[in-house]
Each structure stands twice: as C-alpha cells, then as structure tokens.
A and B are shown apart, each in its own frame.
Chain A
Amino acid sequence: MSLENLELFEVFIRSARGLDHKHVGSLHAVAHEHALEYARDCYTRRSEGVSIWVVKSSDICCSQEDDADSFFDPSDDKPYRHATYYPLPKEVDNM
C-alpha cells in the first residue's frame, strides 16, 4: 500500500486527567478510527497518555506566515492589555 491512499492526521494526547490535549505529531492512516489505533501504537508506547484525539490535517484551518504582520503586530503597541501596564497601589505590593 502506498502513502497516496492514506490521509494525514494530527495527533493530540492528554497525558493525565485534568491536563489539556497536546499536539504530539502526525501520522498516515486510512480513516479516523484507523488513525486512532496508529496513534496508540506510535505515540503511547511508553504510557504517555490517557486520551487521544486525531484530526485530519486537512480539516485544520491555520494562519499563514504571510498574515503574521496583520494578525499579530497590532497587539504589540497595546501594552495596556497587559496587567503589568498598570501601576499597583502600594498596599497590593506583589501581584
């Protein structure tokens, strides 16, 4: 079987209860269920997880490198969005 018949999936694993699923990598598989099995085989061999998500890579809509300027720069000149921008009353001391 060649890779042409397979789809690319992104794998997310939750390493412990209460934590978020984290992206750990990607793999090829025929379908979702199939990808879940391979994710188990490829990414949880050393008991890394309690839960797995797989998502077709093509289903992920992502920001582009070219958009970085318009997406992220505008927030650079808005320091008041950070709590550290505001002087704290003496009484508060540390925050």
Chain B
Amino acid sequence: MSEKDTKKETLDEDICHYATRLGDDAIVLGHRISEWVSRGPFLEEDIALGNVSLDYIGRARMYYTYAAELSGDGKTEDDFAYLRGERDFQNHLINELPRGDFAYTIARQLLVDAFNTYYLAVLTTSNDKTLAAIAEKGVKETKYHLRRSRDWTLRLGDGTQESHKRIQAAIDDIWGFTHELFEHDELERRLIDLGIGVDASLFKDQWLSDVTAVLEQANLVVPTQEWAVRGGRDGYHTENLGHILTEMQFIHRTYPGCQW
C-alpha cells in the first residue's frame, strides 16, 4: 500500500469517528425528546416535540450512514445506533441528561439549539462535502428549533412564579454541562486543521452573548458557578446513558435483524 493510500485510510477513519460522534449527539438527544411523545403538556406541543425529535433522529441516521460507508466493512446505520455499548458512545453529556420537567427540556434545548446554530453553520463550510450537506439540512431545522426554545424560555421565565423557578433551576442544573461543547481533543484538532471539523471554541463568546440576551429578557439569571462536567467525547458518561441505551437498543438486540 502506498503512503498516499495509508494517509487516506487514516483520514477516512478520523472522519468516520467524527461523524459517529455527531451521530451520537443527535440520536441521544433525539431519543430524549421522543420520550415526550404522548406525555406533552398539551396535544399541539406534543406533536411539536415529536417533530423536533424526528429532526434529530433523521440527522443521526445521516451521520451514521456516512460513518458506516466510511468504515467500509459492510456496517449499516443500525450497527452504530443499536450495537454499540455505553463506552463506545461519545456524545456530549448535555444530550443524555434526563428529560426532566418541561422547563428542563426547554432549558436544555435553548442551550443546545443556540450551540447548533453556530456549529452547523460552520460545518456547512466543511471541506468534507457529505458533512457539509448534512449540516445544510440541519441549519434549517435548527433555526426553527431555536425559535421554539427561545419563545418558551421567555414564556416560562417571565411567566408564573412556579415556571420561573423551574426554568431557572434547570438552567443552573445544566449549565456545567455546556463547557465541554466548546472543547476538542486530538482527533477533532486534526480535522479542524484540515478544514473538515468545527472549532467550537471560536464561537463560545457569541453563543454566551446570545444565550445571555434570551435569559435576561426572560428575567433569568445567567449562572456564574464554575463547576463543569466533561467526558462525553472520551466515552465517560453520566448514569443516564445506560438507561437510554437499554430502552433504545433492546428490540434490536432481542430480535437481531428484525424488520417492520
């Protein structure tokens, strides 16, 4: 094998790994939001949450399909979603936090949607055409997601005493999980240098000022605590991921290859 081939193989491996991570982020959060289906606060919101969940699951499928293609050993998207264990998943931890109450779900969405707004916009300019195309679709979905989560944050923060209390508690609770969103490891550094991966540290300030603007308008306080939880990209998870996988994977593991 020539040196050039080896180089391409290593790059494919990196991109495969990266696409899998992005797929992990999307499927874990998509599954979380899907837990609202039939339990939404009222019918219209139930349907809206279901739509958002489907957007994420659809995105996960595209990332996983691409990863499967790059892995080149006959794997499919299902292998990535259903046949990997907890330590193999490398999603950011914020995505696996519990569904919580409605305020908790909205608070997480606000932080993640604002993050995705920038992340996907940069990814559309990736030198990897497939990742750029997936991001292109995601940008449109995210614009709508953010519109929803911003709207609800204002409503809950500026609503009743109870709703204000709940969403503030949620923001305080989740805040420490936002830091790892803006960090990257060796693998992502290599891809960033090639113009393929996204360097999220470059838009952290913009993200913070966007989120701050919404929170202040909603009469909420931007947390100042400095604790941070990290580890998602290394496969170290909170206790929540195992429970998600149990529910998400059991049909496929019980009836391998089952179709319907």
Contacts and interface: CB of A to CB of B under 8 A. Distances in A.
A40 B45 CA distance: 12
A42 B42 contact: no
Chief secondary structure at chain B's binding surface: helix
B151 interface: yes
A1 B42 contact: yes
A37 interface: yes
Interface string A1-27: 111001000000000000000000001
B44 interface: yes
Contact of B44 (A2, A33, A42, A45): A42
Given A42-B47, A45-B51, A37 B148 contact: yes
A26 to B, nearest CB: 10
A41 B51 CA distance: 7
Contacts of A45: 51
Interface string A23-35: 0000111100110
B143 interface: no
B228 interface: no
Contacts of A40: 144
A37 B48 contact: yes
A45 to B, nearest CB: 7
How many interface residues does chain B have, given as a range?
A: 10 to 19
**Size range of the interface on A?**
10 to 19
A34 B151 contact: yes
Interface in B148-186: 148, 151, 155
B43 interface: yes
A41 B40 CA distance: 14
A38 B148 CA distance: 10
20 contacts: A1-B42, A1-B102, A2-B42, A3-B42, A27-B43, A28-B43, A28-B44, A29-B44, A30-B155, A34-B151, A37-B48, A37-B144, A37-B147, A38-B44, A38-B45, A38-B48, A41-B44, A42-B44, A42-B48, A45-B51
